[in-house]
Amino acid sequence: MRDDAFRAYFERHHASLSRLAYLMTGEPSAADDLAADALTEVWRHWDRVQAAADPVAYGHGIVMNLARNWIRRRSRERIFTFGLAGRGHEGSDVPAVLDVRGALRKLPHRRRACVVLRYAFDLSEREVAATLGISVGAVKSSTSRGAKQLAELLGGSVSRIDGWEAAR
């Protein structure tokens, strides 16, 4: 019974978890790994997941935490590998091609998480708050600021982020 319930959860939500991880990291291989790691955690805590008010939000929360840790680790690796500590702003001399993925990577984690969950996953403010463990007010603020920053990075209006499928 437990195996069947988890298998159904896996089949229903694996693609969504992978897509969320991809939008947070911008890396296809990392997204698959993070989704697999998240599903492993879901399995380990299956009783808690099933008891949660929103089992899908529970899984999304795990992905968000794993993605945040992946991004932090990756940033530290880059600083160490390229000796960027103490230098000027990274990439300031190189013109960048701005696309949704690149622009998303420039948003602070909470803003990125709120924008992705609200626009790409069409979650309500209350659902985003539950997923991230923050208040609805924080979701509203972070989403608004993140959407504005994303629009500025894209050199246009927020409507340019409507093509989320194209981002993958």
Model confidence over 63-118: pLDDT tens digits?
A: 999 998 888 777 666 544 444 344 444 443 233 334 677 888 899 999 999 998 99
Which is higher by pLDDT, 162 or 48? 48
Query: Where do the structural domains in the chain lie, given as residue ranges?
Result: 1-93, 95-168
DSSP, residue by residue, the chain: -HHHHHHHHHHHHHHHHHHHHHHHH--HHHHHHHHHHHHHHHHHTHHHHHHSS-HHHHHHHHHHHHHHHHHHHHHHHHHHHHT-TTSSSTTTTS-----HHHHHHHS-HHHHHHHIIIIIS---HHHHHHHHT--HHHHHHHHHHHHHHHHHHHTS-GGGG--HHHH-
pTM metric for this prediction: 0.60
Give mean pLDDT, residues 147-153.
89
The second-level CATH assignment, the architecture, of 95-168 is Orthogonal Bundle (1.10)
User: Per-residue pLDDT tens for 1-36?
Assistant: 788 999 999 999 999 999 999 998 888 989 999 999
d(CA 100, CA 154): 7
The second-level CATH assignment, the architecture, of 1-93 is Orthogonal Bundle (1.10)
Give mean pLDDT, residues 114-129.
90
